[in-house]
Structure 1
Amino acid sequence: MTKHTASANIHWHNSVVTKQERQNLNGHKSCILWFTGLSGSGKSTLANALDKRLYEERINSFVLDGDNIRHGLNKDLGFKPEDRQENIRRIGEVSKLFVENGSIVLTAFVSPYRDDRQLARQMVDKEEFIEIYVQCPVEECEKRDPKGLYKKARKGEIPEFTGISAPYEEPVDPEITISSDRVSIEQSVEQIIGYLKDKGIIR
């Protein structure tokens, strides 16, 4: 039996409606707002607060949350480095689809490795990927511990936990840095909104 690879029989089909046309219909450009940071840093809280603000301004946006994605699309993945890499690759591909749809997609993932975040960045045009580093000392994240994960990690119940038993590689040159231990959610939202307006992504 002749073995065929999937790629040999799959062809890319360009959309009849272009990304630019969808952006014109929406009244704003599309992009990925990639929130990265330690567990407990406030990524999801900030992403959802920003999503609500964008909704109120009639901007098409959607949040992809790390925990939610692992309940469905990525429920077959663990937390080993290779699984984390595949987790981010899939999210990058899904995010790219939102960009092609003319929407602003907000992704809230620890995404601890620089190479994985760079891979996601390379999936879209340069100006369409905005890395937002939600910076917060691990000590503060551990004090918050909203999901009780640090406590479990300290007991050895969660192996390869980022910040405790697995590394987190800080962004070298993120587009936006949010010091979530010193800046309020409201101030953080305003900072990001200001950036989006300055770059002409939203009006």
Structure 2
Amino acid sequence: MRRRLSDTAARMFLERGFDAVRVVDVAEECGVSDKTVFNYFPTKEALLLDRLETTSEALAEHLASPDRTPLEATVGILADELASTAAGFSGEDVEAAIADYRRFGEMIASTPALRIHTSAMLERFVLVAADALARRAGVPPDDPELLIAAAALVGLWRVQFNSLRRHLAGADDVDGLVRAVTADVERAAQLLERGLGDWWPNLPDAEPATSSPS
């Protein structure tokens, strides 16, 4: 039901515009009450941007794990999300799927409520990342160095989103698109590695830094 509500809302928003569609309209299209919609999604914006909740959960889980450095864990989450996005472009009509995704991005960029919601979620990502790193390293979550590190890691989501929008223009090769976006993210990650690579090992209980992701 959650997936059905989100997919229906996305289709209706793209067809009519975000502001022209009410939550009750989505509910009626799916044959349920608006209360049912709000049981799954706290806001209208969340109907369209529900995948951001999955990102928050992934940050909390993977940044707290000692198996990888924080930067490696972050790049891994982004790679999984990029693979999921690319999978949506597979099928008989790749150009149509890419066009829909571009319209999706344009709608977010042109709708104030969606921009505000996205920014608020990115701020929430920073707090989630800071909390996970704090638990892992044994330092307070409001430690200034930890907060700026968390903000830098979360900044990679803007890099990936902007890279996707840029490379989608005229894209017809999904594999090439993934390689191009991955290269952009890794370039940004390598810059962070030069700073975080020296900082992370000096925290209590933090594991030694590894080489830059490739």
Q: Give the TM-score normalised by the residue count of structure 1.
A: 0.31
Structure with higher RCO (Cα < 8 A, 6+ apart): 1
Identify the structure with the greater helix proportion. 2
Identify the structure with the greater strand proportion. 1
Q: Give the TM-score normalised by the residue count of structure 2.
A: 0.30
